[in-house]
Amino acid sequence: MKLVIMTKSTFFVEEDKILSMLFEEGLDSLHISKADSSPLYFERLLTLLPSEYHRKITLHQHFNMKDEFYLGGIHLDNSSVAVPRGYRGSVSRTCDDVMQLKGMKKKSDYVFLKNIHQPHEQSSQEERVLSDLELDEAYRQGLFGRHVYAMGGVTMDDIPILRELDFGGVVIRNDLWDKFCIHSEQNFSLIVNYFRKLRALC
């Protein structure tokens, strides 16, 4: 399975150091998605990350930086958002409805199916979680496969089940970042060791 790590929704001081360590440990797909969409913060983070890893990074905002930093691709968080005019390169999308998957897969390099669980880093509105029945039915219809990744509150414990459902990958966010307190910690060993376990499972 493909392992995708998504950044915390906020920027923090040690972020570039932790991400660089994860790349050194074998991270090959990082999605940068931030609630604070100030381009200066994005540019600063990208500048601090070693350029050799830039091709493994996908942006959810400020798509113009994709070419500037030679990044891997862009990600559209909403099915109604169009690919920027003239854009060439990898495009992934987030889908919140299993019935949209077939169409979304045709126009994307890969798709995140969200709402597997209720993520606790929550937006302003509560989102409906996909039921086991919906997931089982989608599996029976062959809607998953190697280009569909499970997202939304996914934990290490979910990985074996999601593999059985034929998901091609998992998107991990809170399950990883909960291992590090941005306000009080400076030791990255817990988060790095947890990443190693995730990578071994995938």
pLDDT digit string, tens, across residues 159-182: 999 999 999 999 999 999 999 888
Q: Which domain holds residue 192?
A: 2-201
- The CATH number assigned to the domain holding 83 equals 3.20.20.70
How far apart, in whole angstroms, are the C-alpha atoms of residue 114 and residue 28?
Answer: 21
What's the predicted TM-score (pTM) here? Answer: 0.93
Count how many domains the chain has.
1
How far apart, in whole angstroms, are the C-alpha atoms of residue 160 and residue 156?
Answer: 8
pLDDT digit string, tens, across residues 187-200: 899 999 999 999 99
Q: What angle do helix axes 39-48 and 15-24 make, rounded to 10 degrees?
A: 40
Which amino acid, residue 111?
Answer: V
- Residue with token string 């376990």: 197
